[in-house]
Structure formats: C-alpha cells, structure tokens
C-alpha cells in the first residue's frame, strides 16, 4: 500500500468518530506534521480540509508544544470572549455563599439552619432570597473554587484509643508465637452477621445473562434467621462454621467449640492440653459474660481436661481478629449476590469457599434452641478455676480444668 492509501484507510476508520475540529487536529497533528512538507497537500486531497486550515492548525499545535506544561494555546478571539462569570459581575456572591456554609460547619449546633440540607438547590434559592441570582451549576462551580466537594462520612480508624490497646496487641502476638511454637492449638472465633434465609436480594454482583428474580424484603416471611459461628485454626488454615437457627448465646458458642474439639481438635493436636482462643470480646463470647466463662469451664475445660486461655481484641479492633479477614471475608465474597434460599444452599456456599493460600472450610448445622437470659450467680463465678493475666486482665484470662468431684 502507498502512503496516501494508508492515510486514506486511517481517515476512513477514525473520521466517523470525530467532529470537524477533532478531524482537523488529527489531520494536522497526527498526519500532516509526521509526513512532512507535502503532508498538508496530501491530507487536503484525502480529507477535503483546506490547506490554509491545516497550515493554521499545524502552526497552533507547534505553539502548544512550547507552551507551559503543554497547555493549549487558545485561538484568536477566545480570550475574554463570552459572558463574564457570575462572581465578576457580582463580587458579593462568594462571601454570601461562604457565610451560608459557615453557619453550618462552625455555627451554633442548635441553630435552625443546621438541620437543613445544604443542597445546590437550597443554596441557590437562599442566594436568590438575598439578591444574588445563581443557578445550581454556578453554585457547584463556586463551591469547588472555594475547596468544597461532596464528601461521605469517614470512620475513625479504630474509635477511641484505649490506653492498653497497643500493649494488648503485643501481648496477643506473643501468646500466638508461644502456642504455635509449642504446636498447641490457636483458634480465632466470632459470630458472623446474621443472615435471612429465603429468596432475598443480597449485596454483590454475579456473571449471568439475566438478573436473578428475588422477593421483596419482608423479614417476617423468611424461613429462619441463620447465625453463623466461625472457628478459624491459624496453624491448619482451616475454618469451621456452625450455622445455628436460634439465638447467639454463650451456650451456642461453647457448643460450637465443644463440637470442634471432639471432631477435629483433639485429633489434630493429640498431645495438647492447652488451647488459645482469640475473640473480639462481644456477642455470645463477651469478655464480661458470666455464662460464657461458666459454660467454657463446665463443657470444655472440665469435660476434656483442658486449660483454655482467652485473649480478646480491644474494643473497635475486631477487624484484626484472624477469623474476620481469613475466613468470613472470603465467605462473603463467595456468596456475594446470591440469595440464600435455604440452609442447604448457605452451607454449600460456606463449604465451597477456597483461597489461593489453601483455605478449607467445613460447615455444620445446629438446630438446637438456645434460651436467652440465663443467670450465673456470684457464688458460681467464684467456683470457676478462673485466673486473670497480669497484662490487661480484663481481656486476658485462663480457665483450668477442675478435679472431679
């Protein structure tokens, strides 16, 4: 193919997608300048654009190349043309708009204006009431000029900083290293968000030709509410999820731990007599929950001769609990956008969760009914083989097995 035919082919491919000015810039910059002295004549024959127009734009693009930061050089007649900006005609509009926003961000928190949303429409109306005419587009431009932009609320990193926060993290790291070094079980536990079982919409997207049809969200029509309790074994990289259909109580959490130890724990750690449990200190396994400590003592420590050491993450730091980012996050991604129509579907999604690091997940169904409101007296609490640690005793304690009788 000759050079002219190549240019013609490119023109036929590109020109339908460009308006006239873009066609001229393309012909002058991308083609005529590259071809050389005869480029303008060739491009004029191919595109129908006049040679003076191509020459003018070639010169203008050369000026652009030498301009500061590669900025475009405006053509003659552009500078100062058109209607003047609103703030030029009305210099008082910017201070007036600034004052309106000042009332909201730094004014009286109980003032009436605090409770009115400062939308572009409302700001434009209030400016008009003060004699400053500005449409919503002008208001948006002025706000951006003053450094404002639409913002969402930003959560603080970890809430209020507890004075023992860093010390607790260091202590948990030391305990994990000690137990793992001695080949003792280290498990992370937590209860995942409750899930409504039924043909309901779930957050997330899936690849398919047509969207799934789901029902309107009426919780009273659900088959049940599932309560997933997760146990993550740090050394084995295995997750165990028990799905309950009752309440998230201490009895339910301890029964999940007992089932894990019976079926998996004592087989994987045949010589272990101690277990380290990492938790977030809330829900059914709260650090100040008496029923949690009593059930651990009776059903796990005394029944199997174990010493259980518990370490809770500080308040607001549950996302550092390994079960959250090594197990629950991957389960959520696996069933994203999929309605959990029944418990079997939910269990199948949990069991099907894998990662590139080799995570395996097992799931079980617990149909037991757990009552709420159980009480543990002060006397029963004193009978436990409970010992607090010297470092952060509120978050670190151990329960030892008691002798029979």
State what percent of residues in the chain have pLDDT above 70: 87
State what percent of residues in the chain have pLDDT above 90: 51
Tokens found for residue 329? 């996050």
pLDDT at 97 over 70: yes
The DSSP-derived string for 104-128 is HHSS-TTSGGGGS---HHHHHHHHH
More confident residue, 325 or 8: 325
Average pLDDT value for residue range 232-258: 96
Can you give the pLDDT at residue 217?
Answer: 67
Average pLDDT value for residue range 129-143: 91
Averaged pLDDT of the chain: 85
Can you give the pLDDT at residue 405?
Answer: 64
Cα end-to-end span (Å), the chain = 100
pLDDT at 83 over 60: yes
pLDDT at 2 over 70: no
Q: What is the pLDDT of residues 106-128, one digit of tens each?
A: 444 555 544 556 788 889 999 99
pLDDT at 44 over 90: no
- Residue position matching structure tokens 């209020």: 160
Question: Between the ranges 63-72, 87-96, 324-333, where is the mean pLDDT highest?
Answer: 324-333
Average pLDDT value for residue range 129-156: 84
Tell me whether residue 201 is exposed, middle or buried, using C-beta atoms within 10 angstroms of its C-beta: 0 to 12, 13 to 18, 19 or more: middle
Can you give the pLDDT at residue 342?
Answer: 93
Can you give the pLDDT at residue 107?
Answer: 44
> Cβ(374)–Cβ(253) under 8 Å?
no
> Cβ(164)–Cβ(392) under 8 Å?
yes
pLDDT at 216 over 80: no
Average pLDDT value for residue range 334-345: 92
Average pLDDT value for residue range 30-34: 74
Can you give the pLDDT at residue 81?
Answer: 56
Can you give the pLDDT at residue 6?
Answer: 81
More confident residue, 66 or 375: 375
Average pLDDT value for residue range 232-260: 96
Nearest to 285 by CA among 271, 275, 295: 295
What does the alpha-carbon distance between residue 348 and residue 363 come to, in Å, rounded to a whole number? Answer: 8
Can you give the pLDDT at residue 151?
Answer: 77
Nearest to 339 by CA among 190, 192, 206: 206
pLDDT at 1 over 50: no
* Phi-psi map region of 274: left, alpha, beta (phi>0 left; psi -120 to 50 alpha): beta
Taken in order 338, 343, 346, 351, is the CA torsion positive or negative? Answer: negative
Nearest to 199 by CA among 337, 343, 332, 340: 340
Q: Indicate the SS3 state at residue 190.
A: strand
Give me the half-sphere count of Cα atoms (radius 13 Å) on the Cβ side of residue 324. 10
pLDDT at 354 over 90: yes
């Amino acid at each position: 193919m000759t050079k002219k035919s190549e240019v013609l082919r490119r023109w036929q491919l590109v020109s339908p997608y460009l308006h006239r000015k873009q066609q001229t810039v393309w012909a002058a910059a991308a083609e005529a300048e590259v071809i050389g002295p005869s480029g303008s004549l060739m491009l004029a024959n191919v595109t129908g654009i006049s040679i003076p127009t191509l020459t003018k734009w070639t010169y203008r693009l050369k000026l652009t190349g030498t301009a500061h930061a590669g900025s475009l050089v405006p053509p003659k007649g552009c500078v100062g043309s058109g209607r003047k900006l609103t703030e030029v005609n009305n210099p008082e509009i910017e201070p007036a708009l600034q004052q309106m926003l000042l009332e909201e961000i730094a004014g009286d928190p109980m003032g009436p204006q605090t409770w009115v949303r400062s939308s572009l429409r409302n700001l434009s109306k209030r400016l008009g009431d003060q004699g400053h005419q500005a449409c919503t587009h002008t208001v948006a431009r002025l706000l951006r000029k003053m450094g404002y932009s639409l913002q969402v609320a930003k959560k603080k990193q970890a809430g209020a900083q507890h004075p023992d926060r860093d010390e607790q993290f260091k202590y948990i790291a030391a305990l994990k290293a000690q137990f793992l070094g001695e080949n003792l079980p280290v498990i992370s536990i937590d209860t995942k968000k409750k899930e409504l079982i039924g043909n309901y919409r779930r957050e997330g997207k899936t690849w398919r030709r047509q969207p799934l049809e789901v029902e309107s969200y009426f919780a009273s029509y659900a088959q049940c509410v599932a309560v997933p309790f997760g146990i993550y074994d740090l050394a084995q990289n295995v997750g165990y999820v028990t799905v309950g259909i009752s309440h998230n109580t201490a009895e339910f959490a301890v029964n999940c731990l007992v089932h894990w130890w019976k079926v998996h724990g004592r087989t994987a750690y045949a010589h272990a007599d101690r277990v380290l449990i990492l938790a977030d200190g809330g829900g059914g396994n709260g650090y100040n929950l008496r029923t949690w400590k009593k059930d651990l003592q009776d059903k796990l420590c005394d029944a199997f001769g174990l010493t259980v050491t518990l370490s809770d993450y500080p308040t607001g730091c549950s996302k550092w609990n390994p079960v959250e980012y090594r197990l629950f996050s991957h389960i959520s991604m696996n069933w994203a956008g999929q309605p959990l129509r029944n418990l079997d579907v939910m269990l199948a999604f949990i069991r099907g969760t894998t990662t590139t690091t080799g995570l395996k997940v097992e799931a079980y169904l617990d149909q037991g009914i757990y009552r709420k409101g159980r009480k543990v007296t002060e006397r029963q609490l004193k009978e436990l083989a409970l010992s607090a640690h010297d470092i952060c005793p509120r978050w670190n304690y151990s329960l030892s097995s008691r002798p029979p009788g």
